[in-house]
């Protein structure tokens, strides 16, 4: 979130570069660093793994100079694109004032771009930022490579809100400064409007001219150094970087160095390194657990039937294995996704959730029966596809408003999700309270929602997800999404590790 110091007349804001792995996020920051700070006054912090790839973030604070009497400073961050580092992406995105989404323009990477964009929306919401309203610029990078998607097609898939876009070759500097200048301009305009800075000397109408003037000396210096848009930056302008070594290298500079800020920076390096090592360990755990669970389920399906009267026992055994496996999957999923908004698990291991329609699950009176009514309505559909469903309701969660709408609405969600699920797999339904920061005429208001999230194996196309979020989808899921909007709620989607998807329905609580 933007930080003000009216005594010192400074404004500090944060821009995050988001996108899939290896799309060019770090390259953008390196180019901006070269153009704006050729002398290396500010250092670029980077963290690499043993494969020498930037995983955590680059921090680049610098000043744009006086803007209407204010010293406007920008901090630039990138996030790791790898799937297993979602917790890191969410933390880095916290407090962002603007976002640049860097996409790989090649046709073969469209799926990765869509997944990263949906992940960005989820993490913005988790940080109480509204994806539709935050200043956002899209950069279609790697335009120098073959088999590119047309810009119009990229816009159709990735830019439903009609935000500014730039074709770029970040490795050569093409489109880098244009993207950055535009996102700074949009961000500064939004800040000036939101905080009514016109009376303090920052008129939103004058923002384009002010940003242009603030960057005039930067662009002039870049031209004199031979670093102009469309041309590679000279070697002498390479950024002075502080690189945290791969996990197998433990050497660190002594804390007694006379260089200012070294102690705090080294603490930052150690914290980042520990975070990445933990994420790598959790990623390995997720893979191993999923392999083990798949083996358990495959053997369960092959249990022999010796007598006809053993069928019921076999079915009960398989159902029990499915329930235990789904419980373990939930634990693994929480570790892999590491949701910052999820409460910490209790010290004692909770009892495995019973498959629907078995014994009652935890939850307040009323909501449990509503959820079970919804599942019962689509039980034939679930049985037809061989889908097992487990339900978990967080203690103390409030029912939605009106509660009577839940069975029909949730039944539509379950039926639609079942149609997109792989046969003979498991679905998990969890209900919990989620506070959401809603933006209205009178400012931001915190409102509690009931979130009903259904995770399943299988994906919905990105265009279908967008239609559902807009209330224009077809089928049972589309009808449910429209009903959700009528009740003042909304629908979101979150990709999960292993090709799974979570459909999240938010309904206002009483």
pTM: 0.50
219-240 in b/e form (b: 16+ CB < 10 A) is: bebbeeeebebeeebeeebebe
Helix (H, G, I), strand (E, B) or coil at 169: strand
CA angle 78, 71, 219 (to 5 degrees): 65
Contacts of 241 (CB under 8 A, 6+ apart): 43, 44, 45, 46
The reported pLDDT for the residue numbered 58 is 54
The reported pLDDT for the residue numbered 138 is 97
The reported pLDDT for the residue numbered 316 is 67
The reported pLDDT for the residue numbered 287 is 56
The H-assigned helical ranges of 203-337 are: 207-224, 262-301, 311-337
Q: Answer whether 110's CB lies under 8 Å from 463's CB.
A: no
Contacts of 213 (CB under 8 A, 6+ apart): none
Tokens of 405: 């709408």
> How far is Cα 211 from Cα 108, in angstroms, rounded to an integer?
37
> How far is Cα 335 from Cα 350, in angstroms, rounded to an integer?
16
Tell me which residues of the chain have a pLDDT lower than 50. 49-53, 55, 227-266, 305-307, 338-365
Instruction: Give the up-direction half-sphere exposure of residue 440: CA atoms within 13 A in the CB hemisphere.
Output: 7
The reported pLDDT for the residue numbered 442 is 67
Phi, psi (deg, nearest 5) at residue 129:
-115, 140
Helix (H, G, I), strand (E, B) or coil at 359: coil
The reported pLDDT for the residue numbered 33 is 83
> How far is Cα 289 from Cα 304, in angstroms, rounded to an integer?
25
Phi, psi (deg, nearest 5) at residue 452:
-110, 110
The reported pLDDT for the residue numbered 237 is 39
Tokens of 5: 């110091």
What is the DSSP code (8-state) at residue 147?
Answer: S
Residues in the chain: 510
Give the pairing type, strands 70-78 and 10-18. parallel
- Tell me whether residue 379 is exposed, middle or buried, using C-beta atoms within 10 angstroms of its C-beta: 0 to 12, 13 to 18, 19 or more: middle
The reported pLDDT for the residue numbered 291 is 60
């Amino acid at each position: 979130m933007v930080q003000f110091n009216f005594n010192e007349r400074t404004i500090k804001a944060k821009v995050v570069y988001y996108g899939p792995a290896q799309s060019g996020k770090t390259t953008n920051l390196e180019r901006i660093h070269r153009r704006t700070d050729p002398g290396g006054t500010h250092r670029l912090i980077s963290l690499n793994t043993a494969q020498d790839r930037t995983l955590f973030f680059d921090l680049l604070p610098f000043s744009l100079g006086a803007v209407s009497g204010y010293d406007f400073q920008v901090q630039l961050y990138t996030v790791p694109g790898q799937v297993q580092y979602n917790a890191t992406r969410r933390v880095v995105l916290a407090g962002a004032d603007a976002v640049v989404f860097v996409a790989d323009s090649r046709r073969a990477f469209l799926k990765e771009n869509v997944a990263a964009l949906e992940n960005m929306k989820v993490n913005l919401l988790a940080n109480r930022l509204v994806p539709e309203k935050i200043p956002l610029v899209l950069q279609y990078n790697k335009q120098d490579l073959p088999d590119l998607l047309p810009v119009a097609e990229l816009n159709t898939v990735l830019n439903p809100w009609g935000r500014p876009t730039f074709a770029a070759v970040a490795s050569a500097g093409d489109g880098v400064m244009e993207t950055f200048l535009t996102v700074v301009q949009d961000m500064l305009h939004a800040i000036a409007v939101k905080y009514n800075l016109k009376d303090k000397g920052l008129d939103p109408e004058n923002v384009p001219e002010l940003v242009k003037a603030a960057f005039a000396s930067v662009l002039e210096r870049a031209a004199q150094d031979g670093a102009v848009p469309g041309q590679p930056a000279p070697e002498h302008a390479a950024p002075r970087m502080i690189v945290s070594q791969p996990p197998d290298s433990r050497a660190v500079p002594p804390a007694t160095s006379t260089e200012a800020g070294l102690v705090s920076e080294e603490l930052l390096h150690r914290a980042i390194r520990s975070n990445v090592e933990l994420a790598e360990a959790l990623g390995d755990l997720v893979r191993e657990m999923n392999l083990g669970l798949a083996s358990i389920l495959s053997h369960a399906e092959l249990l022999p039937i010796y007598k006809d009267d053993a069928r019921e026992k076999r079915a009960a055994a398989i159902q029990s294995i499915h329930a235990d496996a789904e419980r373990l999957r939930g634990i693994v999923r929480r570790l892999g996704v590491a949701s910052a908004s999820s409460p910490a698990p209790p010290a004692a291991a909770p009892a495995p959730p019973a498959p629907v329609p078995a014994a009652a699950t935890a939850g307040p009176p009323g909501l449990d029966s509503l959820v079970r009514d919804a599942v019962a309505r689509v039980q034939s559909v679930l049985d037809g596809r061989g889908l097992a469903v487990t339900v978990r309701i967080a203690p103390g969660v409030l029912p939605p408003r009106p509660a009577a709408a839940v069975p029909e609405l949730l039944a539509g969600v379950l039926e639609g999700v079942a149609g997109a699920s792989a046969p003979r797999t498991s679905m998990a339904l969890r209900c919990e309270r989620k506070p959401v920061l809603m933006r209205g005429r009178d400012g931001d208001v915190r409102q509690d929602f009931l979130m009903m999230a259904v995770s399943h194996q299988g994906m919905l196309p990105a265009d279908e997800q967008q239609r559902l979020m807009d209330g224009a989808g077809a089928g049972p899921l589309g009808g449910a999404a429209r009903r959700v909007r009528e009740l003042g709620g909304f629908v979101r989607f979150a990709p999960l590790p292993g090709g799974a998807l979570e459909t999240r329905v938010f309904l206002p609580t009483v």
